[in-house]
Structure 1
Amino acid sequence: MAGHSKFKNIMHRKGAQDKKRSNLFSKLSREITVAAKMGTPDPDMNPRLRLAVNTAKAQSMPKDNIQRAIDKATLADGENYEEVRYEGYGPGGSAIIVEALTDNRNRTATAVRTAFSKHGGNLGTEGSVAHGFERKGLIEYPVSAGDEETVLEAAMEAGADDIESDMGEDGGHTIWTEADALHQVASDLEKSLGEAANVKLAWKPNITVEMDEKGAATLLKLVDALDDDDDVQTVWGNYEIPDDVMAKLD
């Protein structure tokens, strides 16, 4: 079950969004509001909202901001967002899945299509790349949560499917679960390991594509362009960028 964590560059460069705090908080607020509107505004009774709130807390989002986002769900004249998924192809044969929350599908589709076309990719049809991914639950812990054996044992007891541990300076523990078991596994792990750094539903690639320096440089520009869009919540891909290539690009 254990292995080197590749998630840090499969999703996007770790910390890329952290440099844009206001943009990140806006995305988190939108997810909290949508989650609260789709169910009860009580995180204890609404698994999706609890995950959204936990993710916001892990990103140091102020409690007042979190509560305001929950409260917005009860406003009669509040914004109405819908979930949209886009699929496409990036440089080097990579496959990309973009998840968005939008109040204007035309605006978001145009922005996503433009980002792909400007950075060596092209937008595909629904289902064009999703078949190469699995919908899974993702839980991330920092290295400080414990050594590989400790976290592995806790993850197995909680019912996780897989764990990838990287005990390096910028590493951590990546724990995978079945999508419908994410809330329960995360709750059980919180009791043994403490609060996770990240808990969310993810698209896990079945096979990864290794990128060379040229392809990786263009690909990261595409990912950054997508991340910069307020409507885009997450960007997933099946790419893997070797550490020596990433070092040249940072």
Structure 2
Amino acid sequence: MAGHSKFKNIMHRKGAQDKKRSALFSKLSREITVAAKMGMPDPANNPRLRAAILAARAEGMPKDNIQRAVDKSQGGDTANYEEVRYEGFGPGGVSLIIETLTDNRNRTATNVRTIMAKNGGNLGASGSVSHAFERLGLISYKAAAGSADAVFEAALEAGADDVQSSDDGHEIWTSIENLHEVARALEPVLGEAEGTKLAWKPGTMVTVGADDAAQLMQLIDKLDDDDDVASVWGNYDVPDDVMASL
């Protein structure tokens, strides 16, 4: 969800990218550990763990790192993380759902509230935003997986509910209950998915202009940089020309 910063110095850029990649791996490892601890350490029998491992693979996380995260779940010194969801509004009237994994609610709440306030957003009460979204399963494929027609036919045959294709790739939506059955059925046809996860699908989209888009992307960047934030979902639609200018 986050944008990409540009730096004058290539070494500065590499250092920043390495730091961000390290932070991403840390978040992915945390999700793998939590998923394995809440269910079984075998991804074949733990849909959430399987999704977490697929996400880690898609980001290039080494197999050893993934295995260490799974093994950590079986130790007695694993931190007790809990899932906490925050809802609020960003620039341009955009609705945002912020999902976190935290071992300290007070720290996370303070950080999220501060980031929102400093970047043109504000937190709302629980339920103030989520009622306008639908909780669904999302399977993502790169555009190279196939044509829009081919992916649509494969998804329909697998039991998916909806498919949205663009130049950026394919988003296959399904019910939460059918997510992993559909994902397994698609794999022999389209290959391994880029991502398989639970997602928030907005009922209506909000078109964001240039001024609001810049601040919105900055807000999402800052939220994404926080160690406790697992994902940020929104109902924003940034036109291609505006996104290109950013």
Give the alignment's TM-score, normalised by structure 2.
0.92
> How far apart in 2 are the matches of 1:63 and 1:193?
22
Give SS of 1:179's match: coil
Alpha-carbon displacement from aligned partner over 1:142-168 (angstroms, at most 9, x marks no partner) = 1111111111110000111111111x3
1:239 correspondence with 2:233:
no
Give SS of 1:176's match: strand
> How far apart in 2 are the matches of 1:40 and 1:198?
20
The alpha-carbon deviation at position 13 of structure 1 amounts to: 4.3
The answer on whether the counterparts of 2:3 and 2:221 sit within 8 Å (CA) in structure 1 is no
The corresponding residue for 2:130 is 130
The corresponding residue for 1:155 is 155
The corresponding residue for 2:113 is 113
The alpha-carbon deviation at position 113 of structure 1 amounts to: 0.2
> How far apart in 2 are the matches of 1:110 and 1:196?
35
The alpha-carbon deviation at position 194 of structure 1 amounts to: 0.5
Output the amino acid matched with 1:225. K
Give SS of 1:44's match: helix
Output the amino acid matched with 1:61. M
1:31-110 equivalences in 2 (<5 Å):
31-110=31-110
The answer on whether the counterparts of 2:88 and 2:121 sit within 8 Å (CA) in structure 1 is yes
The corresponding residue for 1:4 is none
> How far apart in 2 are the matches of 1:118 and 1:64?
38
Greater relative CO (CA pairs within 8 A, separation 6+): 1
Give the alignment's TM-score, normalised by structure 1.
0.91
Unaligned runs of 5+ in 1: 1-11
1:160-239 equivalences in 2 (<5 Å):
160-166=160-166, 168=167, 171-239=168-236
Unaligned runs of 5+ in 2: 6-15
Output the amino acid matched with 2:45. M
The answer on whether the counterparts of 2:88 and 2:125 sit within 8 Å (CA) in structure 1 is yes
Give SS of 1:234's match: strand
- Provide the identity percentage: 62
> How far apart in 2 are the matches of 1:233 and 1:104?
14
The alpha-carbon deviation at position 14 of structure 1 amounts to: 6.8
The total of aligned residue pairs comes to 234
The answer on whether the counterparts of 2:2 and 2:224 sit within 8 Å (CA) in structure 1 is no
Output the amino acid matched with 1:156. L
> How far apart in 1 are the matches of 2:100 and 2:120?
21
Output the amino acid matched with 1:59. E
The alpha-carbon deviation at position 85 of structure 1 amounts to: 0.3
The corresponding residue for 2:11 is none
Output the amino acid matched with 1:132. A
Output the amino acid matched with 1:222. L
Give SS of 2:217's match: helix
Change beyond 3 A, Cα 1:185–1:14: farther
> How far apart in 1 are the matches of 2:134 and 2:192?
25
